[in-house]
Structure 1
Amino acid sequence: MLRICSLFILLMLPLVALADPSGVVRVIDGDTWDVGGARVRLFGIDTPEPDQTCERGGEFWRCGAWASREVRARYQGKIASCRAVTKDHYQRIVARCSVEGRDVGRDLVVDGVALAYRRYSMDYDLDEKRAAVRGIGLHGADMQRPSDFRAAQRQVNVQPAPGDCRIKGNISSKGERIYHVPGQEHYNRTKISPAKGERWFCSEAEARAAGWRRAKR
């Protein structure tokens, strides 16, 4: 009987791991949310990285920060219902999410806040093409696709501190974004790897606004 119960539990584990998240939205960045306490990566879309810049009108534009602000303004604090697809290597649940009955991914791509992530899905391909024709949102700027930006960042394994920006934004093995300030217990041994999406911050306010929390020690 014990052996049968153990087998049943093992068979159920994948289902538990891929339970469909639902609940209040806390926006981490343009395509990563906490939904009812679960870390979710929105399926089929890609937004610029928080530290990514684009060129618009001959000037640099912080398009990654803009996309995060747009998504936060639309969905922060609302109730999302998500359908899990898989898990990524950061152990985030990759899911299709809807808010107020509307497909979040489609709305963001239609409005030029996100791009279709064609490597994983063609669901929003035509939506992106229509947004590009209209030249709205991200399509009004010269932008490196987020996946290409991340690939370029992987060429650098560890990034030194830029100037006086000494706060280390680290991503844990669980995908949690934690920043360390000089003097904290783990500051000196924390390395910053842009390939993993890690970064430096110039202030705690900047780190919190980007979705990082302060290390407990």
Structure 2
Amino acid sequence: MSRSWYSRSRRRYAPPRPRGLWRKLLDYGLTVIVLGLLILLAARLDRVETRKTQGTAIVNDGDSITLGTERIRMRGIDAPEYTQTCRKNGADYPCGTLARRSLVRLIAGRPVSCAGWQRDRYGRLLGDCTAGGKDLNSAQVEAGWAVAFGGFESEEAAARAAKAGIWAGTFDQPQDWRDSHHGEAVERKHGTLASIGDAAREIFRFW
């Protein structure tokens, strides 16, 4: 009996067999994969870090502004392009210009604060913006001068029911209008056109 116990003890505490070559390669491969995933995760977290900026806004159009050197596209909304026209009572009217004026009125010369973590294909920050405690993204849709574009569906429904802004007549969705008017060139240039026009009006106002 003691000999049997001694035999079992020897088997129990015997050193483990050395790992085979393929097992070692598998372990090394898994280690490399885990390290690679950690590096990618760290890079991703760095990219999605929320950026906040504030200051006096230059309003480019109904859904984009500039704060200092930061160009911002307001997240979740899409306003008519600055040169876009809509139709009401059988006549065309400059709904893009009016959408921009709506945003100017909402800001009312107050400092604007925007925060976001994504950028669009033109490098603009996709931001949620406020002025004087007012959510500008939401207010622009509620006023009827922007459509919901991934957010603010309830505000759009209210604007539709009230026939506010562009909902008082007919219009092409801003995305469709861009597609039919060489969207990339329009998207890049309309803000510049608005800024030049504003600068010219400011100059003539003082003459």
CA contact (8 A) 2:48 2:117 kept: no
Partner of 2:106: 74
- Give the CA deviation at 1:197: 4.5
- Partners of 2:84 and 2:68 in 1: CA distance: 28
Q: Which amino acid aligns with 1:97?
A: C
In the aligned structure 1, how far is the partner of 2:187 from the partner of 2:58?
A: 21
* Superimposed CA distance per residue, residues 187-216 of structure 1 (whole angstroms, 9 cap, x where no aligned partner): xxxxxx7455447x9xx9x7712689xxxx
User: Which residue number corresponds to residue 42 of structure 1?
Assistant: 74
Match of 1:24 in 2: 56
Q: 1:36, CA displacement in angstroms?
A: 4.0
Deviation sequence 1:101-156 (CA, Å, 0-9, x none): 12111111111121111xxx2x311110111111011111110010111111238x
The residue that corresponds to 1:14 in the other structure is 47
- 8 Å CA contact 2:102, 2:140 repeated in 1: no
Instruction: Choose which of 151, 157, 167 in structure 1 pairs with 2:179.
Output: 151
Specify which structure has the higher proportion of strand: 1
Deviation at 1:70? 1.9
Q: State which structure, 1 or 2, has the greater radius of gyration over its C-alpha atoms.
A: 2
CA distance in 2, matches of 1:85, 1:19: 6
1:207 to 1:107, Cα distance in 2 relative to 1, 3 A:
closer
SS in 1 for 2:51: coil
3-state SS of 1:50 partner: coil
Between the two proteins, the alignment pairs up a number of residues equal to 158
Equivalent residue, structure 2, for 1:209 = 197
Bigger RCO (CA 8 Å, 6+ sep): 2
Deviation for aligned residue 1:29: 1.1
> Percent of aligned pairs with the same residue?
25
1:94 is matched with which residue?
126
1 CA distance for matches of 2:147 and 2:198?
A: 20
Cα distance in 1, alignment partners of residues 131 and 120 from structure 2: 22
Instruction: For structure 2, list consecutive stretches of 5 or more residues without a partner in the other structure.
Output: 1-38, 201-207
Q: Which has the higher helix share?
A: 2
Match of 2:8 in 1: none
* Distance (Å, rounded) in 2 between the aligned partners of 1:107 and 1:196: 22
User: Where does the alignment leave 5 or more consecutive residues of structure 1 unmatched?
Assistant: 1-6, 156-192, 213-217
Give the CA deviation at 1:40: 0.6
